[in-house]
Structure 1
Amino acid sequence: MPRGISFVCLTALTLLSSAASAAAEYVVRPIAVPDMKAVFGQVESRRVVPARARIGGSLREIKVSEGTQVKEGEVVAIVVDDKLALELNAANAKIEALNAQQENARAEFERAQQLLARGAGTQVRLDQARMQLDVVVNQVAAAQAEKTVIEQRAREGEVLAPADGRVLTVPITLGSVVLPGEEIARIASGRYYLRLSLPERHATEIKQDALVRIGQRGLSPAASGNIAEARPGRVAKVYPEITNGRVIADVDVDGIGDYFVNERTLVWIPVAQRSVLAVPPQVIVTRHGIDYVRVITDDGPIEIAVILGETIGTDDGSRIEVLTGLRDGDRISLPGGKP
């Protein structure tokens, strides 16, 4: 092989080797990560509406119990007022009496018309008979309207669900005497969300639309899992009023529709930012319980013992926080040349 070609090939191999070496390095730089605070969030419903009695009376039937799913307009309970049946009987009797008077007044009116046509009656008598018939007809109409009102009041004994949702409480027992407007059941009809209560010192750090992490059901960290396994949520609202040294925030999260209202679960929320040094997980080598990373120096690669922190999710993948052992600008050897 000619000498010139050998030199070119050697140069190309050197450049490829240098590029591979450069690609196999990871330069340690500080990254900003949110400082997550673990708090308990309480499940709330956007709307809790009462199903109220529309009339007074005795609670004759309860069709739902705590936890029942209801649809808007569904009958929740039935209230019966025994006086309505008596009033309805009285209205029917009044209508029958007025119908009899109406028939009599119509007969008098027709008789007055016949007499006037034969010249044996007067116009005054005809006008009086017509007026009497009109009065009775109007009385019949008024009595029928009163009966309709009584029937509507009887139908209003059905307590209806005001919206779709789940019954939270039924604070009344069968047979109880209820008044108009009294609460028969409480129904959670809105979307569920988590309500957080944090110390006042974090008020300026909590931002709307900030991402949070939601643990599994359970009050203990062991049951809720760690932050890496938690599902995401979003801060939907931060309330501007501080009450008893606490700031209130609401978190939207999917998949909590089967939770109990007022159930609590662990939530990690960002309250500050801190600068950390982090490395890809594959550069960590563990021997005899001690973690090492291979650092590239001018004298060649050396292994340095490090103390690791928590796992951090970034846009480039997961990183492991290094508490001690590395400095800004250190070059880490990457196995396989991939970060």
Structure 2
Amino acid sequence: MGWKAFVLSGALTLGLAGGAVDAAAETLRLEPASMTEWKAVYGRVEARDSVPARARLGGTIIALNVTEGDTVKAGDVLALVKDDKIDFQIAATNAQLSGLQASLANAQSELTRGEQLLKSGVTTTQRLDQLRTQVDVIANQIGATEAQRAVIEEQAKEGQVLAPVDGKVLTVPVTRGAVALAGETIATVGGGGFFLRLAIPERHAATLKQGAAIEIDGVDGTSATEGRLAKIYPEIDNGRVIADVEVADLPTAFVNARVLVRLPVGSHEALLVPQAAIVNRFGVDYVSVIADGVTSERAVVIGQTVSDKGKDMVEILTGLAAGEEVQLP
């Protein structure tokens, strides 16, 4: 062995053998801490309520005022459906009203003449009563026909397809000029706010807690945010538990967009040391441990990094035991 190798070996031996404890050095006694276990799943941005705006009568779509992505308010006119038969029905009703009004005018004239003849003793009271009845019958017929016309006009107004809720138009499956049947969906409006919907493997169902904090990775391409597990549905669908997560300022530019989510599914005991206390040499991590007043470096296997009271802490998988004292830099 050459003298250079001998000197290097001696230096490493002195470095790893340890030394007396520095009285000014800060130490940490290892105690088991509870660490949350996270499960990564994908969530989808969905509307809380997906409500179809339906045509209330059959006819031709003569106007279509919205397209996918438009924001609407409840009661806004999304489209107009027209049934040409309604115009003919209204025209026929108006003609009936004109005839009845003419008959009423004639009956009232006959009644006025009869009252004058009764005063002269030319006609009888019975005849006058018949004229009054005829006027009342025609007046009631006019009232019934006007009510019938109001019904038809209301049917014409039902050609307006209204937005059922405030929200965003998700789908418009029809085009202008198409024929729509009564009850057919003209547009689908997503309202009630937006949230993340998760499909979680059922083996984690027992560990899910409503109200738990959820980590969302860069919903809008920025840093991670936090959400809340708002609702857990009781029905398991195809081996998956369905849950909803509420997120503040959730981007809704793309509905059904997939977002990576981490949710708590359990916990385990772990030993945590500050990240600054770990030294890496040639790919091996070392921690300075104090035992019997002597400091020595011990090789460890590290796990994930977590934040504890604003400090970066690293989980020690092997190499240290609870109760040991770690020297801090």
Q: Deviations over 1:259-289 (max 9, x none)?
A: 5222211111121211111112332344555
1:90 corresponds in structure 2 to 92
Match of residue 315, structure 2, among 299, 316, 321: 321
Indicate the RMSD between aligned Cα atoms, in angstroms. Answer: 2.2
Secondary structure of the 1:181 match is: coil
Q: Deviations over 1:230-268 (max 9, x none)?
A: 211222222223232222222222222425222211111
Question: Does 1:300 pair with 2:294?
Answer: yes
Q: Deviations over 1:279-307 (max 9, x none)?
A: 12332344555443332232333333333
1:140 corresponds in structure 2 to 142
Cα separation, 2, equivalents of 1:163 and 1:81: 25
Match runs of 1:57-206 below 5 Å: 57-206=59-208
**1:43·1:259 contact (CA, 8 Å) conserved in 2?**
no
1:274 corresponds in structure 2 to 268
Q: Which runs of 4+ in 1 moved over 6 A?
A: none
Secondary structure of the 2:155 match is: helix
Q: Deviations over 1:77-101 (max 9, x none)?
A: 0001111111111111111111111
**Alpha carbons of structure 1 residues 262 and 50: separation in structure 2 relative to 1, 3 Å:** same
How far off is 1:47 after superposition?
A: 0.6
Moved more, 193-202 or 175-184: 193-202
**1:191·1:257 contact (CA, 8 Å) conserved in 2?**
no
Cα separation, 2, equivalents of 1:235 and 1:57: 45
Cα separation, 2, equivalents of 1:314 and 1:242: 35
Match runs of 1:276-291 below 5 Å: 276-287=270-281, 289-291=283-285
The one-letter code of the counterpart of 1:60 is: I
The one-letter code of the counterpart of 2:123 is: G
Q: Deviations over 1:75-128 (max 9, x none)?
A: 100001111111111111111111111100100111111111122221011100
When the two structures are superposed, what TM-score results if normalisation uses the length of structure 2?
0.87
Cα separation, 1, equivalents of 2:297 and 2:144: 101
**1:40·1:264 contact (CA, 8 Å) conserved in 2?**
yes
The one-letter code of the counterpart of 1:99 is: Q
Percent of aligned pairs with the same residue? 48
Secondary structure of the 1:116 match is: helix
**1:74·1:161 contact (CA, 8 Å) conserved in 2?**
yes
Moved more, 237-246 or 170-179: 237-246
Gaps of 5+ in 2: 1-22
1:11 corresponds in structure 2 to none
Match of residue 38, structure 2, among 36, 39, 42: 36
The one-letter code of the counterpart of 2:160 is: E
**1:71·1:163 contact (CA, 8 Å) conserved in 2?**
yes
Match runs of 1:8-19 below 5 Å: none
Match of residue 256, structure 1, among 250, 258, 273: 250
Question: Does 1:239 pair with 2:233?
Answer: yes
The number of residue pairs the alignment matches comes to 308
Secondary structure of the 2:168 match is: strand
Cα separation, 2, equivalents of 1:257 and 1:45: 12
The one-letter code of the counterpart of 1:79 is: V
The one-letter code of the counterpart of 2:268 is: R
When the two structures are superposed, what TM-score results if normalisation uses the length of structure 1?
0.84
